[in-house]
Structure 1
Amino acid sequence: MQQDPRQDPAPLTPHLRVRQERGHTVLEFRGEIDIAAATGITPHLDRLTSEPGARIVIDLRPVEFFDCSGLRLLYRARARVLDGDGQLHLVCAHPLTLRVLRVTGLARLLPPRPTLDEALGQPEATSGSL
């Protein structure tokens, strides 16, 4: 029997750790999120965000660098989760990453929360709409 990757406490890639917390799947992005990291993260992200009714939190707090590849991951996750009538929350406190999210408009579609507790405590319909 194959082990469920969401229960594995070890990182799925050097840039992604996944765990369950309060009924949500928490995807913790780590280190430098660039095209190389995104290539490793994408298959795991796709599998976890394709489940109907998925309750996902993406935690960017451990991220040191975040470029357009990271933005594509967030847009992709959002679209997939919303297509499955799920919910997606974002945790981000780094000023430069927050600035990128605001400048690109993603902060309106996926409002970042400063702490994991805040993201996990949000009402059901928190993913921004177009």
Structure 2
Amino acid sequence: MASDFAPCARQLRIRHDHGHVVLELHGEIDLLTATEIGPLLDAVTSGPAPRVLIDLRRVEFFDCSGLRLLYRARRRVLDRGGRLHLVCTHPLTLRMFRLTGLSRVLPPSASPEEALSRPGAAQDLP
């Protein structure tokens, strides 16, 4: 099964930190890599009360496929009573988050430390 995800190994590193699963994404997140990363993200958000931090600081390109990943992860985490945090510093990606409204429902932080000090995606906004 590990070979199924070998192509995205360059774009994804998974580790644990302060009780959270941290997904560090790298490089370009487009349709191909989102398709490869999606099942891993689903696995991480499948249990009860998942605690997940997605770190996009090393992402150079992020398209609507990546947005779908984040919205799906947020929905799965909310449905299971968990917490989801987002770290992003790339100006164009942050602009996309503002334009699409993602930054209102999943506010990006500049660092993992800042993100973990926030409540996280714990509830839906009206």
How high is the TM-score relative to the length of structure 2?
0.89
Per-residue CA deviation, residues 49-93 of structure 1 (Å, 9 max, x unaligned), is 111111000001010000000000000100001111001010011
CA distance in 2 between partners of 1:52 and 1:30 (Å): 27
The number of residues matched between the two structures is 118
Question: Counterpart of 1:40?
Answer: 36
Question: Counterpart of 1:66?
Answer: 62
How high is the TM-score relative to the length of structure 1?
0.86
Q: Which runs of 5+ in 1 are unaligned?
A: 1-10
Q: What is the aligned-residue identity percentage?
A: 61
Offset of residue 19 of structure 1: 0.3
Q: Which runs of 5+ in 2 are unaligned?
A: 1-6
Amino acid aligned to 2:40 = H
* Runs of 4 or more consecutive aligned structure 1 residues displaced over 3 Å after TM superposition: none
Alignment of 1:110-125 (within 5 A): 110-123=106-119
User: Which of 117, 124, 129 matches 2:124?
Assistant: 129
Q: Report the secondary structure of 2:57's partner residue.
A: coil
Alignment of 1:1-130 (within 5 A): 13-123=9-119, 126-127=120-121, 129-130=124-125
